Amino acid sequence: MKDNIESMEKLINAFTYLPGVGRKTAERYAYSIISLPNDDVNFFADSLKEVKQKVKFCKVCGNFTDDEVCEICKNRKSDIICVVKEPKDVLAIEKAKNYNGLYHVLHGTINPLEGKGPNDIRIKELVERVSGGKIREVIVATNPDVEGEVTASYIAQILKPLNIKVTRIAQGISMGSALQYADEVTLSKAIADRKEM
Amino acid sequence: MKDNIESMEKLINAFTYLPGVGRKTAERYAYSIISLPNDDVNFFADSLKEVKQKVKFCKVCGNFTDDEVCEICKNRKSDIICVVKEPKDVLAIEKAKNYNGLYHVLHGTINPLEGKGPNDIRIKELVERVSGGKIREVIVATNPDVEGEVTASYIAQILKPLNIKVTRIAQGISMGSALQYADEVTLSKAIADRKEM
């Protein structure tokens, strides 16, 4: 006997495309589709295609957009660029609501283990933007992991000769966390980078 | 500023239809769609619609099928029916590969708290099947939880007057588990239902 009917099998496979979704979860998702109202399933399917058709990368900053240039690049005037790894990071910073400058999405970080060098991410585009002379500061907001740090150092090295102020987001203890649960690297970083009160 | 572009927002909403998927996970899934190849996204969207169009419930046993009657009902001759809560349970038992009889999917269990009575699940259909006179035994394989037990008792009560042997799947210690980690209810059940060796 076939374990599953063919169309179910196809849908289960499709769900495994999603990050972190294995066979079991995909089965659960696929089964749930059957009990959804028809309209919801159509909405789901259409949204998938629409996103793939409409969502492009902003040709200035590399963020997601459904236009040539994204809303932020279109509407904000600023001489600060915040450099992030992924479009998702833009959203995260926007949600924090205390940054009002521009962005530059690298679409990756330098990662020699994966064979990713500076030319594989959008560093050239960053240098071009900065060379226009209208940018005063570049905040490097890549993740505080090995790849993020390497990428940050590389960007600093390349931009400093252009007389740009390059800063790195602060690293330390998370707000609302407890000291005793912080890892040693974070803790020593927090002490080394202490601020006068 | 819009937090997300519109088509992304729609897709994120669509992903929250899935069981156990909240806003954060939905965002993660939606973002991953953008990096998928076009063909995969189309396959995904088409599979969703196809499942919704093609998958029906077998009019005999209530299992999923893409035909009027499912493969099992079509091809198996047996005088035993195994009663389960959901179509997924059929798959689980089929995978165990030691049962060769028919199935009956209830599509739920009796659950007074949710206002679900015997008439809200496929018990009437079960009685009809059994009344045909060709069924010798009904194995009740609902889950070993309160609702499953209540449903099992109800089914036994209703079928016994029809001179049908009604059995319940064995409950006890899971194979490969350790006694010390078994809960008390399971353990006492396992001792009460002990078998002579």
pLDDT at res. A1: 42
Q: Which residue of A has its CA nearest to B50?
A: A7
Q: Which residues of A touch B48 (CB under 8 A)?
A: 11, 14, 33, 41, 44-45, 48
Q: Which of these three, A19, A36, A54, is where a domain ends? A: A54
pLDDT at res. B78: 94
Q: Are residues A42 and A91 in the same domain?
A: no
- The residue type found at A126 is L
Determine whether the interchain pair A88/B27 forms a contact, defined as Cβ–Cβ distance below 8 Å.
yes
Instruction: Specify the pairing of strand B64-65 against strand B80-84.
Output: unpaired
Determine whether the interchain pair B52/A32 forms a contact, defined as Cβ–Cβ distance below 8 Å.
no
Q: Are residues A26 and A94 in the same domain?
A: no
How confident is the model over B84-131, as pLDDT tens digits? Answer: 999 889 988 988 888 999 999 999 999 988 899 999 999 999 999 999
Q: Are residues A64 and A104 in the same domain?
A: yes
Hey, is the C-beta of A24 within 8 angstroms of any chain B C-beta?
Answer: no
Give the other-Cβ count within 10 Å of A34's Cβ: 16
Domain that residue A50 falls in: 2-54
Which tops the pLDDT comparison, B83 or A195?
B83
Q: Are residues B75 and B146 in the same domain?
A: yes
Structural domain count, chain A: 2
Min CA distance, B78 vs chain A (Å)? 15
pLDDT at res. B181: 81
Hey, is the C-beta of A66 within 8 angstroms of any chain B C-beta?
Answer: yes
Q: Are residues A61 and A147 in the same domain?
A: yes
**Does the pLDDT at position A103 exceed 90?**
yes
Q: What percent of chain B has pLDDT over 70?
A: 98
Give the span between the Cα atoms of A128 and A122, in whole angstroms: 10
Determine whether the interchain pair A45/B41 forms a contact, defined as Cβ–Cβ distance below 8 Å.
no
Give the span between the Cα atoms of A188 and A190, in whole angstroms: 5
C-alpha dist (Å) from residue A19 to A14, A57, B37? 11, 21, 14
Q: Which residues of A touch B36 (CB under 8 A)?
A: 17, 52
The domain that holds A44 is classified in CATH as 1.10.8.420
How confident is the model over B138-153, as pLDDT tens digits? Answer: 999 999 889 999 999 9
**What does the mean pLDDT of chain A come to?**
90
Q: Which of these three, B37, B54, B71, is where a domain ends? A: B54
Q: Which residue of B has its CA nearest to A14?
A: B44
Grade residue B4 by pLDDT with cuts at 50, 70 and 90. Answer: low
DSSP string covering A29-47: HHHHHHHS-HHHHHHHHHH
pLDDT at res. B95: 85
The domain that holds A186 is classified in CATH as 3.40.1360.10
Least confident of A40-44, A76-80, B20-24, B189-193: B189-193
Selecting from A30, A50, A52 the residue whose C-beta is nearest the C-beta of B51 gives A30
Q: Are residues A128 and A42 in the same domain?
A: no
pLDDT at res. A171: 85
Determine whether the interchain pair B5/A66 forms a contact, defined as Cβ–Cβ distance below 8 Å.
yes
Q: What percent of chain A has pLDDT over 90?
A: 60
pLDDT at res. B186: 83
Hey, is the C-beta of B92 within 8 angstroms of any chain A C-beta?
Answer: no
Q: Are residues A94 and A105 in the same domain?
A: yes
